Structure 1
Amino acid sequence: MAELSEDSDYYTGPRLDSDMIRQAEKDLGVRLPGSYVEVLLLRNGGIPRDRCCPTPFPASWADDHFEISAIRGIGGAWGIDSSSGRGSSYLIEEWEYPEIGVVICDMPSAGHGTVMLDYSECGPEGEPAVAYVDEDRVPRRVAQSFGEFLARLVPCDSIS
């Protein structure tokens, strides 16, 4: 399981409870994956220690990987359900991301790319894949599940 850094609480939302999870799922119209909720119950969003995801395709970030800045939680200013102009629905509309699911990561590219839970094949009640969306707005699957995505993250200095 990914360890979210406690060095900064910048992206960390309020302590998560089952009512917040249910409300976020209702607002977003999807069932959130258990592995995502498990991480958020330990720390409701934050900066992972390992932030780079190797890819078999080039990204605008690099030829063989992309970097995330944070995993978004639920509630608070940076929550996926936020109405502050930072929530998933707003980001999808503002940056014209494909409507495949939920924006779950913040990236150093400041909106030019993102990472999303991809419900396009499983439907809103299924187990979503994880997709990287680059400037071309084409979703590219990077993991079959959120748990697999977390397991793929590596320290950025380990990628040459």
Structure 2
Amino acid sequence: MLLPIDFDARNFWADSDYATKKHTEAPPTDELIVRVETDLGYRLPAFYVALMRTRNGGIPHKTCFPTTEATSWADDHVAITSISGIGYEKPYALCGSLGSQFMLEEWGYPAIGVVVCDCPSAGHDLIMLDYRACGPEGEPAVVHVDQESDYRVTYLAPDFETFIRGLAEESTFEQ
């Protein structure tokens, strides 16, 4: 899948030395994608894979997603600090040392899917692809999971593309 023509991937990502050092891997090959999916046990969404082919992990310009219910972060939104890349090399990549499996095994997050975004709380909440309704081969919903509230799951979007397109500037929300 290619990204839809109305999605501007060139202006999606923010440049930073930190993102390059901790998040951004080389563009994923088809073989790497299959290996990561096999290790995680889930098929990654086509839009996510297409986005990672533009830059494989990093920090987007828009980092907030509106919610209809309060979370531990805010009454009306959640915030992310990065999107995990497909790979093993960088710490925050899906299969990196601080990636999805680490968050499930070491932090006790529920085994409902794949951790795909960090939040500003440094591990106390995060964004996951939720495969409970669709199974490991389906199109997962996107949820916020809050460790501080007994791993409360808050639905955000029906799919990854909707989540990404719904990201907004932090200034959109009152502080």
Structure 2 SS opposite 1:58: coil
User: Residue in 2 aligned with 1:141?
Assistant: 155
Unaligned runs of 5+ in 1: none
User: Residue in 2 aligned with 1:31?
Assistant: 43
Matches of 2:108 and 2:38, distance apart in 1: 22
User: Residue in 1 aligned with 2:27?
Assistant: 15
Shift of 1:6: 2.5
The structure with the greater share of residues assigned to helix is: 2
- Residue identity in the other structure for 1:149: F
- Map 1:69-84; keep pairs closer than 5 Å: 69-75=81-87, 76-77=89-90, 78-82=92-96, 84=97
Unaligned runs of 5+ in 2: 1-6
Matches of 1:5 and 1:73, distance apart in 2: 14
- Residue identity in the other structure for 2:121: S
User: Residue in 1 aligned with 2:131?
Assistant: 119
**Residue 143 (structure 2) pairs with residue 131 (structure 1):** yes
Shift of 1:15: 2.3
Matches of 1:57 and 1:21, distance apart in 2: 34
Matches of 2:155 and 2:128, distance apart in 1: 9
Normalising by structure 1, report the TM-score: 0.94
Normalising by structure 2, report the TM-score: 0.86
- Residue identity in the other structure for 1:46: G
Q: Deviations over 1:23-56 (max 9, x none)?
A: 0000001100001001100000000000001111
What do you get for the CA RMSD once the two structures are aligned? Answer: 1.2
- Alignment size in residue pairs: 158
- Residue identity in the other structure for 2:62: D
